[in-house]
A = this chain, B = another copy of it.
Amino acid sequence: MSITARALDQGPARPTLDGLMAPKAVAIVGASADPARIGGRPVDYYRRAGFNGALYPVNPNRAEIQGYRAYPSVADLPGPIDCALLAVPAQHLLGALDAVADKGAQGAVIFTAGFAEMGAEGAALQDALSTRAREVGVRLLGPNCLGMFHAAIGHCPTFSSALQNGMPLPGRVGLVTQSGAYGTHLLELARARRIGVNYWVSTGNEADIGVAEVIDYLVADPETDVIGVYLEGVNHPDLLFAALERARLARKPVVLMKVGTSVAGAAAAASHTASLAAADDVFDAALREFGVARCRTTEELLDVIYAASRAPLPRGRKLGILTISGGGGVILADSAAHHGLSTPPMPEPAQQALLARNPLASFANPLDVTANAVNDFSLVRDGLESMVRDGGYDMLASFFTSWPASKVLGPQLHAEFKASQPTYAHCPHALVITAEDAICAQYEADGLLVFADPDRAVGAMAALAGLAEAFDRPARAAVPAPVPSLPDIPAEAVGEAAAKQILAAAGVPVLPERLVNNADEAVAAATDLGLPVVMKLVSPDIAHKTEIGGVALGLKTADAVRAAFARLIDAASTHAPDARLDGVLVAPMAGDGQELILGLRVDPVVGAVAMVGMGGIYAEVMSDVVLHRAPVSVEEARAMILRLKSAPLLTGVRGRPPADIAAAAEALSALSCLGAAKAAQIDSIEVNPLLVRRDGAVALDALIIPAVAQG
């Protein structure tokens, strides 16, 4: 995937993707009679898929291609077209684009490579191509892509080998991938998992159509229930996030794999905040907002797509387990705990009723009917029905090893599952078995999910629970800024005193303090503010004052203040002789409390992002930070703080008094509003620490790195 910069939203309104995605007539320019060639394979696919529109191969040398009548040129086509596949060399593309536009095409697919992925010259070619496409009103897929398909209508302008074995299984999944090769890999695996993929779009260089717009199309598309996404990079985050939010509000699951996490992690930035929050964490936090089911592995991606496309979303996280093996039940219960599901026991009377039927079994949860169920298969049905009716579980998992594959047991078991199906039709229900595809498909036809690995079954259903929770959240309201007019960030590096003034103006509470330049001024300030005081060096060039002895605490007398001033200046000249020195800050002692770090960072992709971590160096050592796109409301800030693993330090553990989380949340929200409003002026802001007292919070130190100061 390689893209070039291009202007969005300029020029006349562009066609929708309807022509590309659901055409009634398609031209293949450069069609070949040889199904092994790049211009021949798509014709072969259309023929085998039984495209239900008109297909026009264009080839000046042949009257017929693979059974279709061929045309010497686009101009010779007998009717209008909606979509064209341009299987021609780069130098013929512009002409071909003009020709298909003349015939009414609204979409064009370009496999051809040699564009932005090949450096500046290719990028210029690509710009020319997208400019021309815009001028003639054609939407481009590619270049340098593997094409797409829309299986339900047999539309398949692609040379992906994924269709060599036939069209995908029927289904309601739409898949969009930035890598054609990895898309092909996913399609092969999806077929093996009996996942029906109706749309696949590989976006290639995204000269025009990007992932976001395809997602938008699939959100609106009535044939699509689930959207699978494979991302390598995000070109237009605003479009992507808007599409993801539309999907969430439409309650249409987006299951997404974003790669490059290890590379992104290596891109460490300068300020503390940045080093705590890798870019992937930022993106991950954004995806969380939109309720995207983000998957780390290929298998997880397919598992969640599989589950979301076959099962209803659960109403909660309570899992009921039915098993014929103690071991299987324990494994499912372990997995539930691992994936954040609960496994409460059945109500006592319901247990007793089942025990009366089979006293050697156990009906708490897991419900272990034991292998004795072979003697009374109705225990399976009654167990399942009681789990839903009496247990009130939100989802079910049933472990039956190879019973479904048995010629003797299989049909009886299937009858019980089928008979009880109406009871649990509203719940995801995973059957953990080993059986051949045909038997698995039989259970799937009844609405069950089939897995061989119990942990994958539970993990996929837990992902469904996460989707349901995200879908239930209302649309996010605009976050009002805490102060009416937010201050600008100077273009020059900002020292502590100036930083705190800016933060104070933005609504982040700070202590009263004075910048002084000699010992007499220090004593006067201390007397005014009230002893005891603290004193600190102020320099845009000294990030970690404590380490060089640039902080003096608990100064109780005028003499102590005077001595400390000398000591601080001495420390600066010894340890940071080249640092610019703005002076020394005098402030009252802040008192006791729990320290937080608040951060604001402008990510090149996601934009302004707010961060909170526990104070001291634990946030860094333990990677315990929470991110959210800025601005965040006070309520969202509070939720961020409570999501810290170390949040119990604030809520009160071991007799420690609870800290004023509301005040901390207000400070974080205020910082985030400043960051969002002035993102263009900011590289990063760090408040370290924010002292959260029993009553109130106050920023004790702050660092602002302006955008321009970053070279």
Contact = CB atoms under 8 A, between A and B. Distances in A.
B455 A327 contact: no
Given A617-B649, A618-B618, A263 B330 contact: yes
Contacts of A189: 434, 452-453
A1 B578 CA distance: 72
A179 B547 contact: no
A337 interface: yes
A486 B620 CA distance: 41
Number of copies: 2
A654 interface: yes
Nearest to A185: B401
A301 to B, nearest CB: 10
A261 interface: yes
A488 to B, nearest CB: 31
A624 interface: yes
Interface string A181-215: 11011001100100000000000000000000000
B263 A544 contact: no
Interface string A346-386: 00000000000000100000000001000000000000000
Given A189-B434, A299-B456, A325-B179, A334 B161 contact: no
Nearest to A330: B259
B262 A402 contact: no
A299 B185 contact: no
A401 B544 contact: no
A162 interface: yes
A219 B334 CA distance: 29
A16 interface: no
A184 B402 contact: yes
Contacts of A182: 325, 327-328, 331, 401
A164 B406 CA distance: 9
Interface string A307-331: 0000000000000000011111011
A623 to B, nearest CB: 8
A178 interface: yes
Given A434-B192, A622-B624, A326 B232 contact: yes
Contacts of A337: 261-262, 265
A698 B179 CA distance: 59
A621 interface: yes
Contacts of A418: none
A36 interface: yes
Interface string A249-284: 000000000011111010000000000000000000
Contacts of A1: 326
Interface string A382-414: 000000000000000000011000101000000
A646 interface: yes
A638 interface: no
Contact of A653 (B326, B453, B621): B621
Contacts of A330: 232, 259-260, 263
A573 interface: no
Nearest to A547: B655
Interface in A621-637: 621-622, 624
A297 interface: yes
A682 to B, nearest CB: 24
A454 interface: yes
B654 A617 contact: yes
A336 B547 contact: no
A185 to B, nearest CB: 5
A230 interface: yes
A442 interface: no
Contact of A260 (B334, B547, B617, B621): B334
A648 interface: yes
A546 interface: yes
Contact of A327 (B179, B263, B546, B645): B179
A296 interface: yes
Given A371-B181, A617-B654, A408 B453 contact: no
Contacts of A646: 618, 621-622
Query: What are the 7 A-B residue pairs with the smallest beta carbon separation, nearest first?
Result: A547-B655, A181-B325, A179-B327, A262-B337, A182-B327, A188-B434, A297-B455
Interface of A: 1, 36, 118, 161-162, 164, 177-179, 181-182, 184-185, 188-189, 192, 230, 232, 259-263, 265, 296-299, 324-328, 330-331, 333-338, 360, 371, 401-402, 406, 408, 434, 452-456, 544, 546-548, 617-618, 620-622, 624, 645-646, 648-649, 653-656
9 contacts: A164-B402, A181-B325, A188-B434, A232-B327, A262-B333, A297-B454, A297-B455, A299-B455, A548-B655
Given A185-B401, A263-B333, 7 more contacts: A164-B406, A177-B327, A181-B325, A181-B401, A189-B453, A298-B455, A617-B656
